[in-house]
Structure 1
Amino acid sequence: MNLRIDSSIAVALPSPIGDSLIGLVLVNNLIRNGYRPVVFGWVAEHLADWFPHVTVGQADAWQGAFDTVIELLPTGYASALSRSGETLCVSTLPEYRGSKHMVDRAAEVATKVLGLRDVTRENGLVVPAGVVKGRFANRVAIHPTGSHPEKMWGRKKFLGLARGLTHRRWQPSFLVAPAEFGVWGDLAEEGWEVNALPKLGEVATWIAESSWFIGNDSGLGHLASAIGVPTLSLFMRQGLARSWRPGWGPGAVVLPLTVLPFGALRERLWQRMLTVRRVLAAFQTLHDTHARAQHHFAAADFTDAASPPAARIGMLPGAQSRRL
């Protein structure tokens, strides 16, 4: 595909957070190679401060304005942005299929389809000034929900995980969507912190100022990884983890025991086969591995490798929280 440097380009991001963050890999590579795409989608709107080099547009104001419109997945609104009514749908391309990681697929599309020369796996996310990364040294952000119920670990097991973390002197902090607060807010009666932040930028800040993230296979794991927060992701099976594990910052995947003979049965029972003890052990391994890496880099730079002191958990404006 030949893109003229002076052509008008739109990138229409899909609704899922993870897919949008992967789509922003294409945006970042277009910008790196001299193009000036306009990006559409609620994720880009909410995270505009985290992608300062990206131009974000409102679809209603850009009808029929672009020579080329790229959409990662069919969006329903992208064709209206195009002068011809046609779009390049990345998910239909052979370069976006196969067993490679999704981020590597996006980079391959940038190289082989868009013909870009200076290509990176990064999506260009920058932590804004004023957000102190890792500010709360002991806080572990836990995301117990997701858009696909079949990918969600059990509520009781997440509570068991929180108890295990607390026993090890961590500060678990549950992070849910505002619509989920009514279901999860009652955990405060047991003394747990439960937060529902109204904007994705506030969620990003909460994650960035935590030191660790644990969650289901969902978009917030990708966000934590893009920010660079060490991320432990719970997956139902290896094949899914191979392609969809968070693919930027330090992280690890934890899978259920594979003692069942049939794939369909393993998927149906994966929540039972993934124990709290197994997740805690995986988190400890991630912690130890990351600590060794940090010590190595710090020693190489002759800097202090000590972690910042723990600070009291604070709330962002507009957040809902309950803690006894």
Structure 2
Amino acid sequence: MRLHTDTTVAVALPQPIGDSLIGLVLVNNLVRNGYRPVVFGWVAEQLADWLPAVRVGRPGEWQGAFDKVIEFRPTDYARALSRNGRTLCIATLPEYGGSKHMVDRIVDIAANVLQLRDVTRSNGLIVPSGIVRGRMAERVVIHPTGSHPEKMWGRRKFLALSTMLRHRRLAPSFLVAPGEIDGWGDIARDGHEVNALPHLGDVAAWIAESGWFIGNDSGLGHLASSIGVPTLTLFMRRGLARSWRPGCWGPGAIVLPPSVVPFGALRERLWQRLLSVGRVHAAFENLQGISARAAQHHKSNGLREVDTVRAGIVTDA
């Protein structure tokens, strides 16, 4: 399905943050190959300053304007953007299935379905000028929540991890959504820092200026990875990690509960109990060591910081 260079293209991103950031890989590949897609979705709107090569649109202003409309999952507005009322739904393509990482699936679609020649795994996110990457090098952003409660590690364990990090003279900083602050604001009384930032661009800036990111399997881990912040992600099971782990763009590690329970369904119910604070802390220390060695290697070889970020690290504890 080769697109003509004069084809007008719209891309409707999915709602979840992580899915949108992965979807931007396809957008970035369209841009690299000479297309000028208009991108729709709240994530792109709020990260517009981080996507200098992308034009972001609002559906009501682009009715019937495009020759080709690509959506990752069915939306209630994408068909209205198309001149012929049809869309290409990525989720229905055979290449979207399988066991590969989601980024690799998108790369396959770019190369083999859209037949783009110059293909990358990058999603094109660029830290805007004025934001100093790693300015707060000792700050460890902890994201203890997520859209799926079954994927969330325990509150007490996150607080215990924060205390361990403070004892190491790091600066853990809890980051939650504004709607979650009522459930987490009280931890400030015990000396834990907690923030609720209303705009995704502010969240990205906070992460970019931090040294590290630790969180559940959720979209903010993908955001940290996109920016190049070393990221530790807690997963309930290996299959999810294989397809969805952050770390495709920046240094990243995953940590899983020990395989002491033989049945998958039971492991999923018990994973929060099985995954200890010590195991997560050890995985974080391991990520620190690997990141430091990788940075030193790239520095000794005369590579820029961005090359270190693109190299990426994926480890498993």
Which string of whole-angstrom CA distances, capped at 9 and with x for unpartnered residues, describes residues 240-289 of structure 1? 00000012110100000110010000000000010000000000000000
**Structure 2: which amino acid aligns with 1:222?**
H
- For CA contacts below 8 A with separation 6 or more, give which structure has more relative contact order: 1
**1:124 Cα deviation after fit:** 0.4
Which string of whole-angstrom CA distances, capped at 9 and with x for unpartnered residues, describes residues 80-127 of structure 1? 111111111111101111000000000000001111000000000100
Question: What's the TM-score once normalised by structure 2's chain length?
Answer: 0.94
Structure 1 moving runs of 4+ over 3 Å: none
- The answer on 1:93 being equivalent to 2:84 is no
Question: What's the TM-score once normalised by structure 1's chain length?
Answer: 0.92
**Structure 2: which amino acid aligns with 1:291?**
A
- The answer on 1:245 being equivalent to 2:263 is no
Q: What RMSD over aligned residues (CA atoms) do the two structures have, in Å? A: 1.2
**Structure 2: which amino acid aligns with 1:300?**
N
> What residue in structure 1 maps to residue 19 of structure 2?
19
> What residue in structure 2 maps to residue 145 of structure 1?
145
Q: Check whether the contact 1:13–1:75 (CA below 8 A) recurs between aligned residues.
A: no
Greater mean deviation of Cα atoms: 152-161 or 71-80: 71-80
> What residue in structure 1 maps to residue 229 of structure 2?
229
> What residue in structure 2 maps to residue 256 of structure 1?
257
**Structure 2: which amino acid aligns with 1:21?**
L
Which string of whole-angstrom CA distances, capped at 9 and with x for unpartnered residues, describes residues 34-86 of structure 1? 00100000000000000000000010111111110001122222111111111
Q: Check whether the contact 1:214–1:221 (CA below 8 A) recurs between aligned residues.
A: yes
**1:145-164 map, 5 Å:** 145-164=145-164
> What residue in structure 2 maps to residue 127 of structure 1?
127
Residues 31 and 302 from structure 1, CA distance in 2 versus in 1: closer, same or farther, beyond 3 angstroms? closer
**1:297 Cα deviation after fit:** 1.6
3-state SS, counterpart of residue 138 of structure 1: strand
> What residue in structure 1 maps to residue 219 of structure 2?
219
**1:299 Cα deviation after fit:** 2.2
> What residue in structure 2 maps to residue 109 of structure 1?
109
**1:238 Cα deviation after fit:** 0.3
For 1:302 and 1:39, the matched residues in 2 are separated by 33
**Structure 2: which amino acid aligns with 1:121?**
R
- The answer on 1:37 being equivalent to 2:37 is yes
Identity, % of aligned positions: 71
For 1:296 and 1:9, the matched residues in 2 are separated by 41
> What residue in structure 2 maps to residue 9 of structure 1?
9
Q: Check whether the contact 1:28–1:124 (CA below 8 A) recurs between aligned residues.
A: yes
Q: Check whether the contact 1:21–1:222 (CA below 8 A) recurs between aligned residues.
A: yes
For 2:249 and 2:296, the matched residues in 1 are separated by 20
> What residue in structure 2 maps to residue 307 of structure 1?
none
**Structure 2: which amino acid aligns with 1:51?**
L
**Structure 2: which amino acid aligns with 1:112?**
N
> What residue in structure 2 maps to residue 295 of structure 1?
296
For 1:300 and 1:93, the matched residues in 2 are separated by 41
Greater mean deviation of Cα atoms: 262-271 or 84-93: 84-93
> What residue in structure 1 maps to residue 315 of structure 2?
none
Residues 301 and 199 from structure 1, CA distance in 2 versus in 1: closer, same or farther, beyond 3 angstroms? same
3-state SS, counterpart of residue 254 of structure 2: strand
> What residue in structure 2 maps to residue 306 of structure 1?
none
Q: Check whether the contact 1:72–1:91 (CA below 8 A) recurs between aligned residues.
A: yes
> For structure 2, which runs of at least 5 residues remain unmatched after alignment?
305-317
Residues 274 and 88 from structure 1, CA distance in 2 versus in 1: closer, same or farther, beyond 3 angstroms? same
3-state SS, counterpart of residue 24 of structure 2: helix
For 2:76 and 2:193, the matched residues in 1 are separated by 38
Instruction: State the number of aligned residues.
Output: 304
Residues 237 and 302 from structure 1, CA distance in 2 versus in 1: closer, same or farther, beyond 3 angstroms? closer
For 2:276 and 2:78, the matched residues in 1 are separated by 43
> What residue in structure 2 maps to residue 195 of structure 1?
195
3-state SS, counterpart of residue 39 of structure 2: strand
3-state SS, counterpart of residue 75 of structure 1: coil
For 1:96 and 1:284, the matched residues in 2 are separated by 34
> What residue in structure 1 maps to residue 63 of structure 2?
63
**Structure 1: which amino acid aligns with 2:170?**
W
**1:226 Cα deviation after fit:** 0.4
For 1:78 and 1:125, the matched residues in 2 are separated by 24
For 2:255 and 2:130, the matched residues in 1 are separated by 33
3-state SS, counterpart of residue 137 of structure 2: coil
> What residue in structure 1 maps to residue 275 of structure 2?
274
**1:302 Cα deviation after fit:** 9.5
3-state SS, counterpart of residue 203 of structure 1: helix
For 1:184 and 1:104, the matched residues in 2 are separated by 36
Residues 82 and 297 from structure 1, CA distance in 2 versus in 1: closer, same or farther, beyond 3 angstroms? same
For 2:2 and 2:70, the matched residues in 1 are separated by 13
> What residue in structure 2 maps to residue 180 of structure 1?
180
**1:167 Cα deviation after fit:** 1.1
